Structure 1
Amino acid sequence: MPPMPAARVSGLRAETPRATASARSQMLETRIVVRRAAGLLRAARVMAPIAMSLPPPSFAIASPWASVLPKRSARSAGWVAKKMPRPIASRLAPIPRATCRAVESIGTSLPTSPVRDHGGVAEGDTILRLARRFESTLLGETVAASAPNPRGKAARIERLDGQTLEAVESHGKHLLLGFGELSLHCHLGMSGGWHFYRPRSRWRRPRSSAWAVLSNEEWEAVQFGGPTLQVGPTARVRRNPQWTRLGPDILAADFDPEAVIPALRADPTRGLGDALLDQHLVAGIGNIFKSEACFAARVDPWRAVGDVSDEELGKVLIAAREQMLSAVELGTRHNFQIYKRRQSVCPSCRGPVSSRGQGDANRTTYWCPRCQG
């Protein structure tokens, strides 16, 4: 029989020595404690947004995981999680266009909406609507001209000061304002736009960024940005290759689709979508109506022009013209059916919408492979 372990007597109670935990057990216990601490740390980060700042002296006590982590001094406690105050919205909601138009009619000084539809290149419908806006506000008026921004001074906008606006002409994506012997030619590109304001009203953009300001007693027409802005003798401006090399204006009253088809077929291997963007062939169609018109006509924009029939080309051109004229008459941008519907579904067949860059400029084309296949 093995000997009994020795017992130590304390008063009337005898105690037997307890077995000491092995090194493996101690290591396992340490890992559990560390994992619990890490879990509490993650939970605290998920419960509320945190901001990093120096800890208060009571961090080791106030922290929810202080009981499982070794205590640290205030200087070495590291970063601390604090609840951030919830931000308060201070930006006012934009004024609806309908409200602006209604208030305009009674002569208020609230700013009007800029003549600009979207973040892409201004297409023919935008320029035609802009021309009509000039006709209703400044045509036949003697204007005061100024250029707050150095870019406008370089374009010699101030030469128009005291001149009378005699003619307004739009051709594709280009606008021409005639002041007798002088003319202003502009192309808005992707960043430009004209804003119309009542005098002494607040502008939507800083005054110092305005390239051109044309005003009378009732209106201020303000131009911001754009790749082309120049003032010069009318004859020289009209000889500018940017103007003379433009194809037929798709929104012109005498536009004939059959006259444009031979020009589109000049390069039979060229994709239809890419050919429609060539302003030397037909002026005014941009990336929006390229995709929208091809979808309305159910023609694949990736087909080579030589493989597209005259009837299909005519349908595409007529669809683009009707959509753009509708946007002009309504005074709003076109209701997109396929454009910018990436990762969305076709409104007709509910199939996936595809998009990919096309042509040398790599402009994104949108199409439905099912409806336009």
Structure 2
Amino acid sequence: MPEGDTVWMAAKRLHTALAGTVLIRSDLRVPKFATADLTGRTVLDVTPRGKHLLTRIEGGLTLHSHLRMDGSWKVFENGRRWTGGPDHQIRAILGNADRTAVGYRLPVLELLRTADEERAVGHLGPDLLGSDWDPDKALANLRRDPDRALGEALLDQRNLAGIGNVYKSELCFLLGVTPWLPVGELPGDRAALLTPLAQKLLQVNRDRPNRVTTGRPEQKLFVYGRAGRRCLRCGTRILVAEQGDGSRERPTYWCPSCQPGPTPPGTAPRTAGPTSRSVPR
């Protein structure tokens, strides 16, 4: 699933292509809104909210979309061939005199009143890349359920909006704890670092297509997707196991030496003593 930085980049592309222009083409290919016609209206802005996209349109309307696992918005100069997938996967088309934005495989697409946006995104916690970001509130949200595994709590968008499975694994590595550690057992110094570090990771990656958490572009990630390979810090083999987030199980990566603490049965023994962590510059 695209994470907050990816959605931020998608919003930036859409905003650059559409904001301040009049729509001359509008096609929403979902049954409930198939008859809606937005042509002749000006696109005011495209704003990300966590993993959600809000395209605000003249007349008090907002087109709300969510990419989930497979969705994407592609922008094409008019006259160019669309290359985002077969036509039957297109869910939305918004075009002006110069460019056309095409939404492919969008699992969530709804047209609502801008005044009703909270109905779609009001449940979200502070947005790591938004103007409402509040690290103290985000940490307080995480701590509301002290027995919940940290990895699960980080993926819960009601606590803080924007973290996905990649950043969950990388953030836990940088904090030196396993994703299965109960939030309430997170040491005070790590808790103080948690939300500022989460924001920093997304912020430094929001303008580049290939995210880097290590500070070294030649080796982009510490643990995510590296099961069976050697830890970049200690040489121990990286492990992977499934972890739930309240909706589905997700592959979760960690180093059993650098990240002491609870792990799923049959994966790794506990190791003593936390290791020091450096924050990517």
Task: Please give the TM-score of this superposition, normalised by the length of structure 2.
Answer: 0.82
Unaligned regions of 5+ residues in structure 1, if any? 1-120
What's 1:107 paired with? none
CA–CA distance in structure 2, aligned partners of residues 157 and 175 of structure 1: 21
What is the aligned partner in structure 1 of residue 268 from structure 2? none
Per-residue deviation, 1:273: 0.5
Number of residue equivalences: 249
**Cα-to-partner distance string for 1:125-167 (whole Å, 9 max, x where unaligned):** 011111211222211100133337x43x533474222211112
The one-letter code matched in structure 2 to 1:337 is: F
- Residues 264, 144 of structure 1: alpha-carbon distance in 2 compared, 3 angstrom cutoff: same
How far apart are the structure 2 equivalents of 1:324 and 1:303?
22
Instruction: Provide the rounded CA distance (Å) in 2 between the counterparts of 1:341 and 1:184.
Output: 37
Among candidates 249, 272, 277, match of residue 127 of structure 2: 249
Partner of 1:342: 227
Corresponding letter in the other structure for 1:223: G
Query: Aligned partners of 1:175, 1:266: CA distance in 2, in Å?
Result: 27
2:188 pairs with 1:303: no
State the partner residue of 2:61: 182
What is the RMSD of the two structures over their aligned residues, measured on CA atoms?
Answer: 1.8
Distance 1:183 1:291, change over 3 A: same
The equivalences for 1:52-63 within 5 A come to none
Shift of 1:305: 0.6
Return the alpha-carbon distance in structure 2 between the equivalents of residues 310 and 200 of structure 1: 57
**Amino acid paired to 2:25:** A
Task: Find the partner of 1:203 among 78, 82, 86.
Answer: 82
Residue 107 of structure 2: aligned partner: 227
CA distance in 2, matches of 1:350, 1:341: 12
Matched to 1:122, the amino acid is P
Give the C-alpha shift of residue 222 in structure 1: 0.6
**CA deviation profile, 1:289-316 (whole Å, cap 9, x unmatched):** 0011111222221111110134312323
Q: Is the 8 A contact 1:247 1:282 kept in 2?
A: yes
> Deviations 1:203-239 (Å, cap 9, x if unpaired)?
2122342111111122111101132100122223x14
Which structure is larger by alpha-carbon Rg, 1 or 2?
Answer: 1
Match of 1:368 in 2: 255
Contact 1:127–1:174, Cα closer than 8 Å, also in 2: yes
**Kept in 1: contact 2:24–2:97 (CA 8 A):** no
SS in 1 for 2:228: coil
Alignment pair present for 1:320 and 2:198: yes
Contact 1:146-1:157 within 8 A present in 2 as well: no
Question: Does the 8 A contact of 1:156 with 1:231 survive in 2?
Answer: no
After the TM superposition, which residues 212-291 of structure 1 pair with which residues of structure 2 at under 5 Å, given as runs?
212-236=92-116, 238-240=117-119, 242-253=120-131, 255-291=133-169
CA spacing shift, 1:294–1:167, aligned 2, 3 Å? same
Query: What percentage of aligned pairs have identical amino acids?
Result: 36
Alignment correspondent of 1:11 = none
Q: 1:157 to 1:258 in 2, by over 3 A?
A: farther
What is residue 105 of structure 1 aligned with on the other side? Answer: none
With a CA cutoff of 8 Å and minimum separation of 6, indicate the structure with the bigger relative contact order.
2
Residue aligning to 1:26: none
Q: Do structure 1's residue 353 and structure 2's residue 238 form an aligned pair?
A: yes
Higher helix share: 1
Alpha-carbon offset, residue 179 of structure 1: 0.7
User: SS of the residue aligned with 1:260?
Assistant: helix
**Any idea what SS the aligned residue of 2:173 has?**
helix
Task: List runs of 5+ in structure 2 lacking aligned partners.
Answer: 213-219, 261-281
Q: Partner letter of residue 123 of structure 1?
A: E
Letter in 2 for 1:200: G
Tell me how far apart the structure 2 counterparts of residues 310 and 126 of structure 1 sit (CA, whole Å): 31
| TM-score, length-scaled by structure 1 | 0.63
CA contact (8 A) 1:344 1:352 kept: yes
